[in-house]
């Protein structure tokens, strides 16, 4: 995998075209109107084994981000091991970051995320730090490949693999085709 990306980068350099830098590959989305709407979760990776396991079990998941007055609302439709779960979260959007919390007490987790894209391309991913709220410390990160349709293009997969490498992660999980949860 690393060899393929390395050879790809070398090929681009020798052809006179510069490969995108990690900063360009992990560029935050400033215009929040770009992130509204329905997003399918197409692939994921995490440097936290527990969260990667949870994401691997979340096959056929999607979410919808809407504005409700001054609030940003995320409605998740998770297909978790074949069972549809519907959750609503209020998002706090500050300076290009999206913050949301789930759970209660010792189980409370805060995600500090940013939507990411590649230069001159549309939104492609969701890059999050995972913080245990009680301990106020980071326990890992994850990146999710997002799409407006249920299947990623070859180009989007390649860009996502480059983003994952830039973030120092491995083990991308592409879920098999699963039934999506309906609007519920």
Mean pLDDT on 167-180:
73
* Secondary structure of residue 124 in the 3-state scheme: strand
* Percentage, residues of the chain above pLDDT 70: 67
Mean pLDDT on 92-110:
71
Which residues lie closer than 8 Å to 160 by C-beta, 6 or more apart?
43, 124, 125, 143, 145, 152, 172
pLDDT for 34-85, tens place per residue? Answer: 778 888 888 888 888 877 777 776 656 788 888 766 677 777 777 777 778 7
Cα–Cα dist 89/184, whole Å = 16
* Percentage, residues of the chain above pLDDT 90: 0
Cα–Cα dist 61/12, whole Å = 35
Under a CB-based contact definition with an 8 Å cutoff, are residues 60 and 40 in contact?
A: no
Tokens standing for residue 2: 């690393």
Indicate if the pLDDT at residue 22 is higher than 50: yes
Complete domains list, the chain, with CATH: 2-166 (2.40.128.20)
Cα–Cα dist 133/147, whole Å = 29
β-strands 97-102, 83-94: how paired? antiparallel
Q: Which pLDDT band, with edges at 50, 70 and 90, does 16 fall under?
A: very low
Tokens standing for residue 49: 């084994």
Indicate if the pLDDT at residue 183 is higher than 70: no
Supply the pLDDT for residue 140.
79
Cα–Cα dist 33/122, whole Å = 12
* Secondary structure of residue 86 in the 3-state scheme: strand
User: CA torsion 46→50→52→56, rounded to 10°?
Assistant: -170
Mean pLDDT on 116-134:
69
């Amino acid at each position: 995998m690393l060899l393929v990306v390395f050879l790809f980068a070398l090929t681009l350099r020798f052809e006179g075209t510069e490969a995108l830098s990690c900063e360009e590959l992990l560029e935050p989305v400033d215009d929040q109107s770009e992130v509204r709407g329905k997003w399918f979760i197409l692939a994921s990776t995490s440097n936290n084994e527990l969260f990667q396991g949870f994401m691997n079990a979340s096959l056929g998941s999607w979410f919808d981000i809407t504005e409700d007055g001054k609030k940003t609302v995320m409605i998740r439709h998770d297909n978790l091991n074949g069972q549809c779960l519907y959750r609503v979260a209020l998002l706090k959007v500050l300076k290009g970051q999206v913050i949301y919390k789930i759970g209660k007490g010792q189980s409370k987790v805060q995600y500090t995320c940013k939507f990411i894209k590649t230069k001159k391309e549309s939104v492609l991913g969701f890059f999050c730090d995972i913080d245990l709220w009680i301990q106020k410390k980071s326990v890992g990160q994850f990146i999710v490949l997002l799409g407006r349709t249920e299947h990623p293009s070859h180009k989007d997969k390649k860009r996502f693999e480059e983003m994952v490498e830039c973030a120092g992660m491995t083990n991308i999980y592409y879920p098999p085709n699963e039934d999506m949860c309906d609007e519920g």
